[in-house]
Chains A and B, each alone.
Chain A
Amino acid sequence: DAGITQSPRHKVTETGTPVTLRCHQTENHRYMYWYRQDPGHGLRLIHYSYGVKDTDKGEVSDGYSVSRSKTEDFLLTLESATSSQTSVYFCAIRGQGKHEQYFGPGTRLTVT
């Protein structure tokens, strides 16, 4: 257990509304990641962070922004949600001095 929580766990929202998902970790990990999971695609990287205020884009970053003002929190924002952003979102951390990633429980987001 890498002490990762995500909130909310489930959310239903309407097209065009802003949505923010939160990832919180308790073990001071430097690297944090946001992925989305869709059937047939495995996981795809949206954005990642390598420190406070240090972030970079992943494979599917269009329509998403992130912020990291504290080591423990990594926020994912959908400025104007679209139906194509209906997905399960996972946050992950990279262990200290390790290469594997550990995941939060996921957030199921439905955009109607």
Chain B
Amino acid sequence: AQTVTQSQPEMSVQEAETVTLSCTYDTSESDYYLFWYKQPPSRQMILVIRQEAYKQQNATENRFSVNFQKAAKSFSLKISDSQLGDAAMYFCAHMDSNYQLIWGAGTKLIIKP
């Protein structure tokens, strides 16, 4: 079965600093998609960034970027210049060949002012 693992249940970072959240996944497919979602206390699930496996270039969205290592099946999220509004649960997800999302258990990110 395909799995997604987020090994850090909780991370904390000082405001304005950089933090990296880890994610590994297991798949036998060569073409797939990976996503990071953010869930603030409001409970709304918000898409942060996506990566197509066939693209070697790492995706970026403003202060958010990924380090995609296909051979290692690793997909980490880097948040630069952390802001108080970044405090949330962050979920990594892998889309399988049936277009279904397989989710990690999440990492709680705490921003220290």
Contact = CB atoms under 8 A, between A and B. Distances in A.
Interface of A: 31, 40-45, 48, 58, 88, 90, 92, 94, 99-103, 105-106
B111 to A, nearest CB: 21
Contacts of A94: 99
Contact of B106 (A42, A44, A101, A102): A42
Interface residues of B, number: 18
Specify the main secondary structure of chain A where it touches its partner: strand
B13 interface: no
B20 to A, nearest CB: 19
B105 interface: yes
B91 interface: yes
B28 to A, nearest CB: 18
Contacts of A48: 100
B35 A100 contact: yes
B47 interface: yes
Nearest to A45: B100
Contacts of A101: 47, 101
Nearest to B4: A42
Contacts of A100: 33, 35, 47, 50
A90 B45 CA distance: 9
Contacts of B33: 99-100
Nearest to B50: A100
